[in-house]
């Protein structure tokens, strides 16, 4: 199991996958599948690229600017951990900023193993150090993701409005049009398939309404119902948050740091140093879309889409990949270092908590 996976989630897996070997094989298959997708985009991005030229480009970078971008990223991580606390407080818990930060960074590290497993890992880590129900924490993470998606959409709209023709054509050609084609492909099934899907959904609803009382006798049903309820509580925690202004300010600060990170990295390379603030906003949005792809840590997808995005400024794919590689790998290195340290601290906290619990049991006995 991934490090930091919560006990409650593990219990659910045991109920759903009684055959541990089968579950392990499924997990390995998922890792290899997403890794294959990432490798595909890496090959797509780096095809016909001279690695010697890429290395020379990386060596020509001004690394004080890179270090500044990493400092800005760290500030964004710290702010993100405090924002998470604001979502947790309405649930009746107040985790320490230190443990919240460790959980957050453990999640980022886990995303390099399997996409989106980081959300579960960060919930499990905080569950182990602060004894907060992991299911409720997952709901708060979903709320976080929705908030960040809204900001990313607003940033994309702003970038388009600043340079409508330039950015609009790129997003239409490389983002919206492919997405539209995929949606049409998903809907392009024979009519009887649509009827079958609708019938299955209706039958499921009828079955649930008819046998809801009997289903409550089954442990797995009760457990899944509790998980869904706790997740829902976490999602709507924002409605009961007393510090809405603080949440908004942290969100603005986080994305301001992301924007300044991109601009600082522009300054690190001669070929991108001439680009301005609106260009940094555009590349931040494009890079965000690349990181949202279901691959480990945005590997491949980030490199490809950022190099294509820089191409609209007349920057060659070779030079664009130098920037994308410098940006992605510096951030990845930061996440690996902070994530590894955080996982170690979570492990230490777990040992201390277990020892404390044993001492309490011995004293009460």
Dihedral, 314, 278, 267, 285 alpha carbons, nearest 10: -90
pLDDT in tens, the chain (365 residues): 344 444 444 444 444 444 556 555 665 555 555 556 555 555 555 566 666 777 888 888 999 999 999 999 999 999 999 999 998 988 888 999 999 999 999 999 888 877 778 888 898 889 888 888 888 888 888 888 888 988 998 998 888 888 777 776 776 676 666 656 655 555 555 666 667 777 777 877 777 666 666 666 666 656 666 666 666 665 666 667 778 889 999 999 999 999 999 999 999 999 999 999 989 998 999 888 888 776 667 777 888 889 888 988 889 888 888 999 899 989 989 998 999 999 889 888 887 777 766 666 666 55
Q: Which residues contact 50 (CB under 8 A, 6 or more apart)?
A: 318
Give CA torsion, residues 114, 119, 122, 123, to 10 deg: -130
Nearest to 162 by CA among 280, 264, 259: 280
- Confidence (pLDDT) at 65: 96
Rounded CA separation 105/102 (Å): 5
> How far apart are the C-alpha atoms of 15 and 122, rounded to whole Å?
22
DSSP 335: H
State the sign of the Cα–Cα–Cα–Cα dihedral 118, 120, 123, 129: negative
> Are 88 and 94 in contact, with CB atoms under 8 Å apart?
yes
Side-chain-side CA neighbours of 312 within 13 Å: the count stands at: 19
- Contact status, residue 251 vs residue 258, Cβ threshold 8 Å: no
User: What pTM did the predictor assign?
Assistant: 0.72
Query: Cα separation of 137 and 347, whole Å?
Result: 19
Round to whole Å and give the CA distance between 106 and 119: 9
Q: Which helix (H) or strand (E) holds 166?
A: helix 164-171
Task: Give, to the nearest 10 degrees, the angle between helix 277-292 and helix 164-171.
Answer: 10
DSSP state of 294: S
């Amino acid at each position: 199991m991934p490090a930091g996976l919560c006990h409650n989630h593990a219990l659910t897996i045991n109920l759903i996958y009684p055959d541990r070997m089968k579950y392990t094989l499924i997990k390995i298959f998922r890792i290899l599948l997403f890794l294959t997708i990432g490798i595909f985009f890496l090959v797509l991005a780096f095809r016909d690229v001279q690695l010697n030229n890429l290395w020379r480009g990386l060596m020509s970078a001004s690394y004080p600017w890179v270090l500044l971008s990493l400092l800005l990223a760290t500030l964004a991580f710290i702010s993100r951990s405090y924002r998470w606390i604001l979502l947790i407080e309405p649930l009746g818990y107040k985790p320490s900023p230190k443990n919240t930060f460790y959980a957050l960074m453990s999640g980022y590290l886990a995303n390099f193993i399997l996409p989106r497993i980081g959300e579960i890992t960060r919930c499990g880590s905080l569950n182990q150090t602060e004894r907060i129900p992991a299911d409720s924490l997952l709901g708060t993470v979903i709320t976080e993701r929705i908030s960040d998606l809204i900001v990313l959409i607003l940033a994309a709209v702003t970038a388009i409005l600043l340079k409508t023709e330039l950015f609009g054509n790129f997003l239409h050609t490389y983002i919206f049009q492919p997405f539209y084609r995929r949606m049409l492909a998903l809907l392009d099934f024979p009519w009887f398939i649509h009827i079958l899907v609708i019938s299955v959904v209706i039958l499921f609803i009828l079955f649930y309404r008819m046998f809801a009382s009997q289903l409550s006798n089954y442990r797995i049903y009760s457990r899944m119902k509790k998980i869904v309820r706790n997740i829902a509580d976490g999602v709507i925690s924002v409605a009961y948050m007393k510090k809405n202004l603080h949440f908004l300010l942290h969100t603005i600060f986080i994305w301001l740091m992301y924007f300044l990170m991109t601009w600082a990295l522009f300054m690190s390379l001669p070929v991108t140093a001439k680009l301005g603030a609106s260009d940094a906003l555009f590349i931040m949005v494009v890079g965000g879309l690349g990181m949202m792809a279901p691959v480990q840590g945005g590997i491949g997808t980030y490199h490809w889409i950022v190099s294509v995005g820089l191409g609209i400024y007349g920057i060659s794919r070779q030079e664009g990949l130098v920037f994308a590689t410098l940006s992605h790998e510096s951030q990845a290195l930061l996440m690996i270092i902070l994530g590894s340290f955080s996982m170690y601290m979570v492990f230490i906290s777990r040992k201390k908590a277990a020892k404390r619990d044993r001492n309490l049991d011995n004293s009460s006995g």
